[in-house]
Amino acid sequence: MTRRYLFLVVAIFALAFLVPAWPWLSGAVTVPYDAKSTFFPPVEFMARAFATGESPLWTPNVFAGWPNIADPQSMLFSPLHVLLALSSAAPGFRANDAVTFAYLFIGGLGIILYFRDRGWHAAGALTAALAFAFGGAASARLQHTGQVISLAWLPVALFLLSRALERSSWRWGALAGGAAALIVLGRDQVALLEVYVLAGFVLAHWCGAGWRTRARASIAPLIAGGIAGLLIVALPIVFTELLASDSNRPEISLYNAGRGSLHPTHLLSLAFADLFGAMDPKVDFWGAGGFAWNERFGMADLFLAQNMSLLYSGALAPVLLVIGATRGLLWSREIRFFTIVAALTALFMFGWYTPVFHAMYEVMPGVKLFRRPADATFVFGALIAVMTGYLVHRWLGWIAPANRAQRAIELAIAGLVIAFTAWLSITTVGLTLALKPIITGTLCIALAILVLFLARRLNSGAPLTATLLLVVFTTADLAWNNAPHESTGLPPARYDALRPGTRNETVALIKQRLAAQQPNHRDRVELIAIEYHWPNICMIHGCEHVFGHNPLRLKWFYGATNVGDTVADTRQRRFSALYPSYRSTFADLFGLRLIAIRMPVEQFDRGLKPGDLNLIARTGDAYVYENPRALPRVMMVGHWTLANFDELTASGWPPDVDPAKTVLLEKAPPLPKVDAAGTARLMRYANTEIVVEVDSPSGGMLVLNDVWHPWWRATVGGVETEILRANVIFRAVAVPPGKYTVRFMFEPLRGAWQEIRDKVRRK
């Protein structure tokens, strides 16, 4: 593939790419669910921070304060999202969706460049690139933005790594290390598995005759790559590791991980798109994990979203994989690595359905940190795309004609797959639900076979025409069978409340009420069981939510509140011993002023009595209540008493302690108890800096009702002082008699270094 021809191939890919991506790029639909609830708000928060000259490293808008710099979901280490946030103060849905597709386009380019270096046919490169970008989990799980980003860098890293090893080039090695670092920055299970793929790629390069020579020649590029990669990932990984160690889930148990296993029957979706009805909300999903399946086979412990079962990567994939397997092409030296890794990845994603995952869980570093072996479907899809593209290359080049036995085996495999699929549906829900996808899949496969034979005939005299035929078929196939659906593309109007300029009445009411709050208050809100995309909405609108949507929480915050990953569902908005009701000391300490909840609050919080909360509105989204007892964000108190916070977390707030007069501490401050503590006035409240003016004739404790975190520092009158953990999860500093300016500053570098030193000392 000459340079000029490469430009033509990239242009064809760009044009073909627009067809299946157009519904999103045009704004007709937008990527839903996690893309909007989890990843869109941090980008909007980052953009607003950049536009106002603030730091996005800490956000006060969720969880009473959150170390954004350490959170893999913050998008702070996604280069394209950072550029987007720098370019606009309020990037919208289309812009965010476009960034997701830009990452997939980059991954497709990586595949094209990898194929070019191998001398493989351009039609194979284009088929693989399209299958990579619009097939398998890349399509079905488009909402999982972070994992899509991790996936997108894999082909780029493989291309650069192969060049570095083949040319023994430290320069290419440094670039490969940079690409691998961009994978690692995802800090998710997809990134972890891809690191193992890259390590296996190096080992595969060393294998065979002359391995010593190849190993020696790879030293310089690998060292350069390691240095470049470490320079990029060292700090983010340290931050995230420290957050994980201080979180509610430092590792996942084998059982909880196994619940996210992909049942092997979902491999049938490689041939029959949406076989189990995951795309259509009118169909009761009947695959493994669905109600019909659980009733028939007793597998209620399975815990997977329906879209995780979708593996369809185009009709060419199952046809060519069968041909490649029966004729030995998948064991060719140049593709053998991908075949082996695809098999291992499949065993991993099947989880507890094979004994292999248990061994991987115990042996492979990092696996215990993540749930859902089914996340491996991202990597599996990428490998299937590469293998399919290679088989296109072999099909259009020289391939030995199939003998009678091979044809018989291929036909038998096709017949068995169709028969098994029909039997599975009949024994589970009946053939009716599966009939349409079985017929559609069979017709697409038949058409794929026809296209393959036509392309091979054309290739000898008109290779470009053969290439275009395969590209047009693959594009149409993926655009039709993996079109926007319930899990990947919904009307943007559904997410109007997320727009910074929304006219949503609930958002408007909350903003209006909070605008009238007293200066020292900075009241918080709770938004309960409204919509899946609401928990992180305050990162967009500037309010401060007690909770949010994130599987990680600081362990002391989680212990005090006992709330699940998201409060979009009342089942996860649990109460705790410390926070037993909205009529509680802890609700007041949070400064909880407004509660917006889908149902009347008394039906949810049975401990409430008439008059505990004031109903102020009934909007189209929720009942909105006011808590008149919310405490200020900053308070001066004169009395302090020592307490065991672990015991309080288990037993609840002491009934004889008034938090407006007494602060609970783990250790004694360098101040006596006084009767009159003076006053505190909040002068500045930014993301990473808080300034309080204190007038305290007798001295006392300044309480800041933000979550305590070891990376914050404080000064009193310019002199550094210790921030004490107060009232179980909040902050306090001792202030001597007089007038002082107290500054709280978020310093993650210094704080992380000190935390590491403290952990080492304790060991």
Convert the pLDDT of each residue in 725-740 to its tens digit.
Answer: 999 999 999 999 999 9
Give the helix/strand (H/E) hosting 594: strand 592-597
Cα–Cα nearest to 483, from 317, 321, 312, 305: 312
User: Looking at residue 495, what is its pLDDT?
Assistant: 97
- Collapsing DSSP to helix, strand or coil, 239 comes out as helix
- Give CA–CA dist 696/740, Å, rounded: 8
Q: What are phi and psi of 687, to 5 degrees?
A: -60, -45
The two tokens of residue 471 are 């590209």
CB neighbours of 313 closer than 8 A, spacing ≥ 6?
Answer: 131, 135, 136, 270, 381, 384, 385, 388, 478
Give the helix/strand (H/E) hosting 382: helix 377-396
- Give CA–CA dist 452/315, Å, rounded: 11
Q: What mean pLDDT is predicted for residues 644-668?
A: 94
Centroid of chain to Cα 548: 15
- What is the SS3 string spanning 489-556? CECHHHHHHHCCCCCCHHHHHHHHHHHCCCCCCCCEEEEECCCCCCCCCHHHHCCCECCCECCCCEHH
Give the helix/strand (H/E) hosting 624: strand 623-626
- Give CA–CA dist 123/396, Å, rounded: 9
- Collapsing DSSP to helix, strand or coil, 31 comes out as coil
- Give CA–CA dist 13/476, Å, rounded: 13
Measure the CA angle with vertex 558, ends 557 and 564; round to 5°.
Answer: 135
Q: What mean pLDDT is predicted for residues 174-190?
A: 95
- What is the SS3 string spanning 296-357? HHCCCCCCCCHHHHCCCCCCHHHHHHHHHHHCCHHHCHHHHHHHHHHHHHHHHHCHHHCCHH
Higher-scoring residue by pLDDT: 83, 295:
83
Centroid of chain to Cα 756: 26
Cα–Cα nearest to 366, from 222, 223, 195: 195
Token match 């696996």: residue? Answer: 367
- Is a pLDDT exceeding 70 seen at residue 535? yes
Q: What mean pLDDT is predicted for residues 685-696?
A: 96
The CB-side HSE value for 466 (13 A sphere, CA atoms) comes to 22
Grade residue 760 by pLDDT with cuts at 50, 70 and 90: confident
Grade residue 431 by pLDDT with cuts at 50, 70 and 90: confident
- Collapsing DSSP to helix, strand or coil, 564 comes out as coil
Q: What mean pLDDT is predicted for residues 601-625?
A: 94
The two tokens of residue 420 are 């098994």
User: Looking at residue 299, what is its pLDDT?
Assistant: 63
- Give CA–CA dist 737/755, Å, rounded: 31
For residue 258, the one-letter residue type is: G
DSSP strand pairing (689-696 vs 738-746):
antiparallel
User: Looking at residue 300, what is its pLDDT?
Assistant: 61
- Give CA–CA dist 172/159, Å, rounded: 10
Q: What are phi and psi of 620, to 5 degrees?
A: -65, -20
Question: Given CA atoms 231, 233, 238, 239 in this order, what sign does their dihedral have?
Answer: positive
- Is a pLDDT exceeding 80 seen at residue 563? yes
Answer for the pair 381, 198: CB distance below 8 angstroms, yes or no.
Answer: no
Q: For the whole model, what pTM was predicted?
A: 0.94
- Give CA–CA dist 280/40, Å, rounded: 25
Q: What mean pLDDT is predicted for residues 511-522?
A: 88
- Is a pLDDT exceeding 90 seen at residue 758? no
User: Looking at residue 367, what is its pLDDT?
Assistant: 87
Token match 């170390």: residue? Answer: 67
Answer for the pair 102, 156: CB distance below 8 angstroms, yes or no.
Answer: no
- Give CA–CA dist 607/670, Å, rounded: 39
CA distances from 370 to 250, 375, 376 (A): 9, 9, 11
- Is a pLDDT exceeding 90 seen at residue 451? yes
User: Looking at residue 614, what is its pLDDT?
Assistant: 96
Grade residue 211 by pLDDT with cuts at 50, 70 and 90: confident
- Give CA–CA dist 467/462, Å, rounded: 9
How high is the mean pLDDT of the chain? 93
Among 290-304, 364-378, 587-601, 665-679, the least confident range? 290-304
- Collapsing DSSP to helix, strand or coil, 412 comes out as helix
CB neighbours of 79 closer than 8 A, spacing ≥ 6?
Answer: 182
Q: What mean pLDDT is predicted for residues 128-142?
A: 97
- Give CA–CA dist 709/731, Å, rounded: 8
User: Looking at residue 260, what is its pLDDT?
Assistant: 86
The CB-side HSE value for 66 (13 A sphere, CA atoms) comes to 29
User: Looking at residue 116, what is its pLDDT?
Assistant: 95
User: Looking at residue 301, what is its pLDDT?
Assistant: 66
Give the helix/strand (H/E) hosting 63: none
Answer for the pair 56, 513: CB distance below 8 angstroms, yes or no.
Answer: no
- Is a pLDDT exceeding 70 seen at residue 547? yes
- Is a pLDDT exceeding 80 seen at residue 475? yes
DSSP strand pairing (524-528 vs 592-597):
parallel
The two tokens of residue 546 are 């007690």
- Give CA–CA dist 187/72, Å, rounded: 6
- Is a pLDDT exceeding 70 seen at residue 1? no
CA distances from 400 to 324, 394, 584 (A): 11, 10, 77
CA distances from 69 to 58, 66, 186, 214 (A): 7, 9, 13, 40
Give the helix/strand (H/E) hosting 670: none
Residues facing 640 on adjacent strands: 663
DSSP strand pairing (700-704 vs 730-735):
antiparallel
For residue 33, the one-letter residue type is: Y
Residues facing 247 on adjacent strands: 554
Ramachandran class of 529: left when φ > 0, alpha when ψ lies in -120 to 50, beta otherwise: left
- Give CA–CA dist 703/663, Å, rounded: 8
The two tokens of residue 369 are 């940190």
User: Looking at residue 677, what is its pLDDT?
Assistant: 78
User: Looking at residue 430, what is its pLDDT?
Assistant: 85
Percentage above 90 pLDDT, the chain:
80
- Collapsing DSSP to helix, strand or coil, 181 comes out as helix
- Is a pLDDT exceeding 80 seen at residue 249? no
User: Looking at residue 429, what is its pLDDT?
Assistant: 85
For residue 239, the one-letter residue type is: F
Question: Given CA atoms 490, 496, 497, 498 in this order, what sign does their dihedral have?
Answer: positive
Answer for the pair 150, 186: CB distance below 8 angstroms, yes or no.
Answer: yes
The two tokens of residue 158 are 């493989």
Q: What mean pLDDT is predicted for residues 43-58?
A: 97
Grade residue 668 by pLDDT with cuts at 50, 70 and 90: very high
CA distances from 53 to 306, 416, 714 (A): 42, 63, 21
**In the 8-state DSSP scheme, what is residue 206?**
H
Residues facing 641 on adjacent strands: 664
DSSP notation for 704-745: E-S---TTEEEEETTEEEPPEEETTTEEEEEE-SEEEEEEEE
Grade residue 285 by pLDDT with cuts at 50, 70 and 90: confident
For each of the domains in the chain, give its residue range(s) and CATH number, in order of start: 3-30+92-481 (no CATH), 634-640+661-762 (2.60.40)
- Is a pLDDT exceeding 70 seen at residue 298? no
Cα–Cα nearest to 614, from 629, 631, 599: 629
- Is a pLDDT exceeding 90 seen at residue 399? no
- Give CA–CA dist 506/92, Å, rounded: 20
User: Looking at residue 210, what is its pLDDT?
Assistant: 81
User: Looking at residue 196, what is its pLDDT?
Assistant: 96
- Is a pLDDT exceeding 80 seen at residue 762? no
